[in-house]
């Protein structure tokens, strides 16, 4: 519901050390890359698989720095890679399960069910939450890490996550769905509770949030 750091450090004698991404690689608004459409992956290469691993590492590092939040998913653009890759947590309720599924070139083929409002946050919009309308069910087509096509029927929170992340691949963030809804914005407090934000003061004229 992070700029890209160098992933390879060249040392003496041309040796190379692989460096995992961290939370510091996750870009945030007003970075205008978050408003750009990502490109499709042509070939599921080792570089694509490494990017997926890095995205998972960055998400978990972010989660480890937040007391009351879980890193449920991330899109490639959020680590400043305009590539249609999405990683989604396998278990949203168990923080000890730190495994993810990877979806390459994901697209929603059908929206189904009812439109419901629920809270969403975003690693690229720190400390702002919103009550966002989403379809309760979606059908998704994507490639897996082996380059094979997969089809998913998602409902409930998973359907919301897919819609949120696929929005990212199209240059859209969750606040775009509630731009003109003053009552839809909330702040995460230190104790983990959500309290309403003053729309005029914190949102409407916040140049960091809008193009």
Residues 122-146: pLDDT tens digits? 999 998 999 999 999 999 999 999 9
Torsion sign across C-alpha atoms 141, 142, 148, 152:
negative
Tell me: pLDDT of 13 over 70.
no
Instruction: Tell me the per-residue pLDDT of 167-189, one tens digit each, with 9 for 90 and over.
Output: 999 999 999 999 999 999 999 99
Instruction: Tell me the per-residue pLDDT of 35-78, one tens digit each, with 9 for 90 and over.
Output: 999 999 999 999 999 999 999 999 999 999 998 899 999 999 99
pTM beyond 0.85: the answer is yes
| Cβ(59)–Cβ(86) below 8 Å | no
Q: Which sequence spans correspond to the domains of the chain?
A: 8-111+137-173
How confident is residue 19, by pLDDT bands cut at 50, 70 and 90? confident
Q: What does the pLDDT read at residue 4? A: 32
Tell me: pLDDT of 202 over 90.
yes
**List of long-range contacts for 195-201, beta carbons under 8 Å, 24+ apart:** 197/128
The CATH number of domain 8-111+137-173 is 3.20.20.70: no
State the burial class of residue 189 (Cβ atoms within 10 Å of its Cβ: 0-12, 13-18, 19+): exposed
Among residues 67, 165, 183, 200, the one annotated as catalytic is 165
> Can you say whether residue 23 is alpha, beta or left, with left for phi > 0 and alpha for psi between -120 and 50 degrees?
alpha
Instruction: Tell me the per-residue pLDDT of 70-110, one tens digit each, with 9 for 90 and over.
Output: 999 999 999 999 999 999 999 999 989 999 999 999 999 99
Mean of pLDDT over the chain: 91
How confident is residue 18, by pLDDT bands cut at 50, 70 and 90? low
- The answer to whether residue 81 is catalytic is no
For range 10-22, the mean pLDDT: 55
Dig out the tokens for 58 from the structure: 């960055």
């Amino acid at each position: 519901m992070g700029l890209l750091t160098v992933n390879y450090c060249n040392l003496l004698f041309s040796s190379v050390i692989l460096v995992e991404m961290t939370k510091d690689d996750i870009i945030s608004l007003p970075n205008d890359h978050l408003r750009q459409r990502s490109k499709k992956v042509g070939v599921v290469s080792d570089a694509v698989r490494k990017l997926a691993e890095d995205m998972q590492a960055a998400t978990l590092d972010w989660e480890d720095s937040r007391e009351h939040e879980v890193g449920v998913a991330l899109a490639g653009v959020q680590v400043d890679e305009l590539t249609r890759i999405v990683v989604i947590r396998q278990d949203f309720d168990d923080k000890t399960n730190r495994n993810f599924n990877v979806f390459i070139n994901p697209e929603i083929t059908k929206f189904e069910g009812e439109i419901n409002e629920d809270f969403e946050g975003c690693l690229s919009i720190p400390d702002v939450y919103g009550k966002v309308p989403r379809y309760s069910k979606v059908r998704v087509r994507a490639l897996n890490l082996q380059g094979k096509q997969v089809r998913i029927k998602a409902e409930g929170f998973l359907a919301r996550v897919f819609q949120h992340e696929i929005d990212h691949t199209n240059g859209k963030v969750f606040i775009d769905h509630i731009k003109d809804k003053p009552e839809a914005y909330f702040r995460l407090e230190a104790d983990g509770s959500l309290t309403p934000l003053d729309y005029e003061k914190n949102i409407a004229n916040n140049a960091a949030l809008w193009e």
